[in-house]
Amino acid sequence: MAKTTGTGKSKASKSKSTKPTTRATAKGKPTAKKTAATKSTAKAAGSTTLKEGQAAPAFKLPDADGNIVSLKDFKGQKVVLYFYPKDDTPGCTKEACSFRDGTAELKKKKAAVLGVSPDSVKSHGKFRDKFDLNFPLLADEDKKVVQAYGVWKEKSMYGRTYMGVERTTFIIDEKGKIARIFPKVKVDDHLDEVLEAL
């Protein structure tokens, strides 16, 4: 009887321990999702929200040839600083080519163009050469600059959330201040609105 009782207790113990574990696991799944969402929200919160009239954050980044480019290099000149998600993708290619084709008009406005994305130097080199881009593409692989400019944000596609660059353009004046911000850029006719703002 002692053995039977012991076995019975053992079975009861196993039964009790199994059920709560199953429930805890079921409850744990949403918790895991919430934790992931919290982490990505925290990352997004790490980005700075800039306003027109503020000083543009300084930066030094490598271009497609590995040469270091600094915002200070353009002091006394207007800068069209545009952030884009990824090299050689449809929207980013169209945007880059529009700036390429508008070089003469941009020069008349005494403005230089700088493109920034988290892609590598090598990726930038291929993108530049493939489309004959005539302005610097800067590699922000550690994402410090996209966060400093507040464009590293939580995005969603097909029900999936992820962190990425929100297509944004900043016009920086000769004194290094932000003169205009174009958030959530629509590629079509973007060059025209930039030229108008300059």
Active-site residue set: 92
Coil vs helix vs strand at 48: coil
Residues 6+ apart with CB under 8 A from 159: none
- Between CA 123 and CA 118 the distance in angstroms is 10
Would you state the structure tokens that stand for residue 142, as one six-digit string?
A: 């550690």
- Between CA 177 and CA 75 the distance in angstroms is 10
Q: Pick from 63, 59, 62, 91: which is nearest to 164 by CA?
A: 91
- Between CA 174 and CA 3 the distance in angstroms is 89
DSSP category for residue 180? E
Helix axes 90-101, 190-197, angle to 10 degrees: 40
- Between CA 64 and CA 138 the distance in angstroms is 7
